[in-house]
Amino acid sequence: MDLLATTSAVAVSSYALLSTIYKSAQALYARRGNAPSLRSDLGQSELALPSVDIIVPCFNEKPETLAQCLESLARQDYEGELRVYVVDDGSANRDVVGPVHKIYANDARFSIILLARNVGKRKAQIAAIRGSSGDLVLNVDSDTILATDVVTKLVAKMRDPDIGAAMGQLVASNRNDTWLTSLIDMEYWLACNEERAAQARFGAVMCCCGPCAMYRRSALALLLDQYETQFFRGKPSDFGEDRHLTILMLKAGFRTEYVPDAIAATVVPDTLGPYLRQQLRWARSTFRDTFLALRLLPELDGYLTLDVVGQNLGPLLLALSALAALAELAVGGSVPWWTGLTIAAMTMVRCSVAALRAGELRFLGFSLHTPINIFLLLPLKAYALCTLSNSDWLSRTIVSEPTEGDERAVLPAPNSAAGPVATGVASGTIPKPVVPHRPSRLAAPESICGRKRSSGYK
């Protein structure tokens, strides 16, 4: 009894101390600076803008969702050369997404690559990377919509040749669908504007997230073979491609950055089942690449070491305190007041600071994430740690190894100006959403809200 109470109290007190130090440093370094403009960075010279290849891997994507994604790419206001490569990774629903491809047949900027069979998101990306030649490569998920100035803002950040990758800010396009999507939207804001923003102060964002991440081709050329052939304990590792590629960039000596003004709205899970499967896959990826990232820490700023310790030791202390507190309650019937009050106080402080920084009271509701974290996510992370060798995607079919002839390029299909066409789905048309020039930095625009969870890679 006393041992359980002492263990719980010591663990939660240690968690509170570590979290206070870590989150205070994070808030300090996450303070937003001035975002440079592309033209001011290039000066008044006639320096040519770099060419950009946008790569959109697709797997069983809903036609409406894909149409919205591609429409946002067609509307990019970038003044340099822009090419879009849509890679269909052996989808089983090509009969309904085919008309979406045809929308861009007359747009010379678009190319469609049809893979004969499913080879996985990473290899689908690589198929387009190897077949393109732009100076910069922007990876975009097929359920993501970009604000019209995203490419311009990311290119502005990539002006520094030492930067190998940069990511934009993610928001949940369907945040108003359920209580869970609202929580995930706030979770994304915190991950981007606290964690990534602080890491970016030292040019070491640890994961340039897949929905919207730009890479320098010259850097990719050095790393593509390593990226393609990642193994863990002798088995191919196919998920977590964004985190792994980011770590490879850092290992190669490149900086990785975060651009808060480059807004990307992506679909998030709206029920617990898909959300937990996604979190399990992400947890395995995080653990695998954390081991790889540990070798980098001596070369990086001390804050990055604190960041890794805070993200890994903190949850361990929280889990230990929660387990001891529950055991104390179950065995002795005594209420672990100290543990409960400490966790509640830490939760309210964090949510209050987030609400203040974001300027939105809704962040006080993020306190609901604490019981989800303690009773669902922490056990899930423990399971992930015990099953690191499992590379099952959990939300898609098992991939096949590619063979020669697995891909064929299909050149384009009608310009977006051609309007909706028949799809074979219930509605009979593909919607033509109006993508705003700049969505709110916290909220997805109304025109892209309300979309349900896609059936693709996530």
Give per-residue pLDDT as tens, 355-397: 999 999 999 999 999 999 999 999 999 999 898 877 665 554 4
Specify the CATH architecture of the domain 41-276+404-448.
Answer: Alpha-Beta Complex (3.90)
Degrees, nearest 5: CA angle 452-275-435: 35
Give me the mean pLDDT over the 392-406 stretch.
48
Supply 154's token pair. Answer: 């990311």
Percent pLDDT > 70 in the chain is 80
Digit-coded pLDDT (tens) for 175-195:
999 999 999 999 999 999 999
Residues 279-293: pLDDT tens digits?
999 999 888 888 888
Would the pLDDT of 66 be above 50? yes
pLDDT band at 145 (very low <50, low <70, confident <90, very high): very high
Amino acid found at 409: A
Question: Minimum mean pLDDT among 150-164, 204-218, 238-252, 408-422: which range?
Answer: 408-422
**Residue 135 neighbours by CB under 8 Å, 6+ apart:** 50, 51, 52, 216, 217
* pLDDT recorded at residue 17: 97
Mean pLDDT of all residues in 7-12? 96
Task: Give the global pTM.
Answer: 0.85
Nearest-5° angle of CA 219, CA 123, CA 396? 135
Task: Write down the pLDDT at residue 204.
Answer: 96
What distance lies between CA 205 and its chain's CA centroid?
A: 12
Reference 142, options 74, 242, 68, 75; nearest CA is 68
Per the CB < 8 A criterion, the answer to whether 412 and 107 are in contact is yes
pLDDT digits (tens, 9 = 90+) for 305-318: 999 999 999 999 99
Of 1-5, 19-23, 40-44, 140-144, which range is least confident?
40-44
Q: Is residue 112 pLDDT above 70, yes or no?
A: yes
Say yes or no to pLDDT of 403 above 90. no
**Would you state the pLDDT for residue 388?**
84
Q: What percent of the chain has pLDDT over 90?
A: 70
